Every structure is written in structure tokens, then in C-alpha cells.
Amino acid sequence: MSGWEPHAEAWIAWAHGHDDGWSAFVELLPPPGRATLDVGCGEGRHVRALRALGHRVGGVEPAPSLVDAARAVDPEGDYRVATAERLPFDDDAFDLVVAVNVLSCVGDLHAAVAEAARVLAPAAGSASRSRIRRTRRPARTSTSTRTRSASAG
């Protein structure tokens, strides 16, 4: 069971009335591309916001109750129960991976960052509280938030 499962209802109530940093985070995002993944999507509000910005986006979340809540509000959305450390996608499947307020909650940060790097296509972007480099070697993180495309250009 996900560590968030016992707190799902409280999180949903909190999320409906608060800005968890999204308003600042969204300014860092590159334009929509082929496919975007929201890791730790919670009740799906960032997936819906990304779609409104033109992204083709899906989300993963380890708490089944939060995925159920996301699907209830957005039945056409692509929401999957999965952890950041084991993403159920092929290599190079996305050109943008976002993880808003998530990396501090994962059990194995190294594995989560490595998985985000694995599913990112070469020359793709990432946006999180940490910088993620697309590499087959273990990814390094820093405290700055950037997109790969912005840091490469």
C-alpha cells in the first residue's frame, strides 16, 4: 500500500483549495510536445492543467484512491497506479516528465530519477524540483529546477 493511501481524502480536500507551487512551476515548462508524464499525479489536477496547456499527458500515482479520484473527475484521462521507482512505460516514451512535490516522498530517490531519465526520449525535457539529465548512467540531481531543453540551449 502506498504511504499516501491513508491520507488520500485529506490530500484531495487540501489540494482543492491550495496552490502547491504549481503557479510558479508551470512557468518553467517547455511547450507541449509528443507526450508528457506527471509522476506522482495525485488526484490529477496537474494532468488536467497540463492538458489545458496543450500537452498530451498521463499520470502515475502509487495511491489507488488518488488514481480513482483522478479518474472520477477526468474519465478520459490516462491515470495509472505505479510508483516513481517503477514506471510502466517503455524507454524513451516521453519528451517531458514532471514531478511536482514528489521526489521528497519517494522511497528510493536514485531509482525514481533513473526511471524518469529512462522514459525520457533523447534531447527531451524534465521539470521537477530536481534537474534530471537524460542518461543511461545514474542521473545526478541538483537543487535547481530547469528543463533539459532550456539547459541544453
The pLDDT tens digits of the residues spanning 113-143 come to 999 999 999 875 555 434 443 433 344 333 3
pTM: predicted TM-score of the whole model, two decimal places: 0.74
Which pLDDT value is given to residue 105? 84
End-to-end CA separation in angstroms for the chain: 41
60 vs 23 pLDDT, higher one: 60
Mean pLDDT highest for which of 11-15, 91-95, 141-145? Answer: 91-95
Q: How confident is the model at residue 73 (pLDDT cuts 50, 70, 90)?
A: very high
Mean local confidence (pLDDT), 47-72: 95
CATH match for 5-13+24-152 among 3.40.630.30, 3.40.50.150, 3.30.500.10, 3.10.290.10: 3.40.50.150
Which pLDDT value is given to residue 102? 85
The DSSP H or E segment spanning 148 is helix 148-152
Which pLDDT value is given to residue 100? 86
> Could you give the C-alpha distances from 32 to 9, 26, 29, 125, in angstroms and in order?
31, 12, 8, 11
The DSSP H or E segment spanning 22 is helix 22-25
Mean local confidence (pLDDT), 1-21: 64
User: Structural domain boundaries of the chain?
Assistant: 5-13+24-152
> Cα 148 vs. chain centroid, distance in angstroms?
15
Q: Which DSSP category does 86 fall into?
A: B
Query: Mean pLDDT across the chain, nearest whole number?
Result: 79
pLDDT of 50 > 70? The answer is yes
Which pLDDT value is given to residue 58? 96
